[in-house]
Homo-oligomer: A and B are copies of this chain.
Amino acid sequence: MDLDLMRELSVKTDSKIVLLVLDGLGGLPMQPGGQTELEAANTPNLDSLAAASDLGLSHPVAAGVSPGSGPGHLGLFGYDPLHFIVGRGVLSALGVGFDLGERDLAARINFATLDDSGKISDRRAGRIPSEKGEELVALLNEKIQLDDAEVTITHEKEYRAVAVFNADGLSGGLSDTDPQRVGLEPLPVEPADDSAKKSAAIANEFVKKANEILENEHPANTVLLRGFGMYPALPSFEDAYKLRAAAIASYPMYKGLARLAGMDLLQEGAGIAGEFETLKNSWDDHDFFFVHVKPTDAAGEDGDFERKASVIEEVDGLLPQLLELAPDALAITGDHATPARMKSHSWHGVPFLLHSDYTLPTSSAFGERACAGGSLGSFPAEEIMGLLMGHSLKLNRYGA
């Protein structure tokens, strides 16, 4: 999306946009001749909405490339995921709900095992239980003191944690310490250029002091650092689109991604029904709503076709509540496909439905193949925000 063009053409209006993201919505048949999860699900409300909507298949990032949650959502927000990079460390920090700021440098931590010769014998410290991981994180937070930065470690799960360094003049241009193989020594953190020298020194000091503290904590007697990244400076929705945007999401990582785009975070109730309730209660205060539904992706990752279809059916049952609010433009899509058949994110086209007063409907069903034949055809996910802005009449004409 050309954000300069959006800045130039966008105008504040009273019209309202909803972007409903069913994480990992796209799917595949479990065998040739079969239906996808969305096609198999019984979705009378989505189907009748499709009969008054534009349909298409949206494509994140690049052909054949399976996106992570970060790039997937950046694309949906209209930010080129190949230009705006959100590092693994930053995503981890957002994922644990860390209130990341502009001076913050984040990195992913793995607890790991060093043998007597100083070589890595286990990159995951025997997959220590979460209780042990929490205990070690508390120990590090209590004891570690760096000369030139504050550091805060937050536990994720089992052997995984995230470190956030806070100081002036930090940089994310740093190499990983994890050599990605056992039998090798951990690598020193190397700066990509002079501007990262201070950060590299801080990170190496951190590893050295952590090793001293963890010396007797075998198998978790060292830490490996990777995915260094600064808080990314994304344009805000206010800046790019003149939108007062809000996010309704139940998982910290998606809240964090929305906050990077300058969205207000709304308190959501329990489950998908609670999210829809929050939407209704906050309707007057914003003109853009990002609503994130997680369980479709989780079911896909588990390879559970039936559960993924039933989550879609749950959303279908709640849809009339959303439609009662009468958004001027409503998109229903995913950030990527997570076919149960693959048990992972994939590169496939993602079903996309856009409802407004100005559509060219082509099908009375919402499904991958109906979308492939839709009036939007196959298109980059990055164009979704432009479409929503157009359909809600928030863009001036380009040129005379």
Contact = CB atoms under 8 A, between A and B. Distances in A.
A346 B369 contact: no
Contacts of A395: 64-66, 347
B397 A1 contact: no
A65 B5 contact: yes
A63 B32 contact: no
A70 B88 CA distance: 41
B376 A373 contact: no
B28 A400 contact: no
Interface string A372-400: 11111111000111111111000101111
A398 B360 contact: no
A229 to B, nearest CB: 10
A346 B360 contact: no
A383 B81 CA distance: 17
A82 interface: yes
B64 A386 contact: yes
Contact of A347 (B81, B379, B390): B390
B68 A398 contact: yes
B378 A379 contact: yes
A330 interface: no
A384 to B, nearest CB: 8
Contacts of A360: 28-29, 36, 348-349, 368-369, 372
A400 B91 contact: yes
A361 B63 contact: no
A63 B383 contact: yes
A131 B360 CA distance: 44
B399 A85 contact: yes
Interface stretch (A139-147, A164-172, A304-312, A337-345): A337-345
A386 B59 CA distance: 13
Interface in A67-95: 67-71, 81-82, 85-88, 91-92
Contact of A62 (B87, B377, B386): B386
A362 interface: yes
A82 to B, nearest CB: 7
A9 interface: yes
B5 A62 contact: yes
Contacts of A63: 1, 379, 383-384, 386-387, 390
A248 interface: no
B71 A399 contact: yes
A2 interface: yes
Interface string A1-41: 11001000100000000000000000011001100100000
A136 interface: no
Contact of A358 (B69, B85, B348, B379): B348
Interface in A268-284: none
A65 to B, nearest CB: 5
Contact of A28 (B61, B64, B349, B359): B359
A57 interface: yes
A240 interface: no
Interface of A: 1-2, 5, 9, 28-29, 32-33, 36, 51-52, 56-57, 61-71, 81-82, 85-88, 91-92, 227, 339, 341-342, 344-349, 358-362, 368-369, 372-379, 383-391, 395, 397-400
13 contacts: A28-B359, A32-B359, A62-B386, A71-B398, A81-B399, A86-B400, A342-B358, A348-B358, A348-B360, A360-B368, A360-B372, A368-B375, A373-B373
| A-B pairs, 7 with minimum CB distance | A64-B390, A377-B378, A63-B383, A64-B386, A63-B386, A68-B399, A71-B399
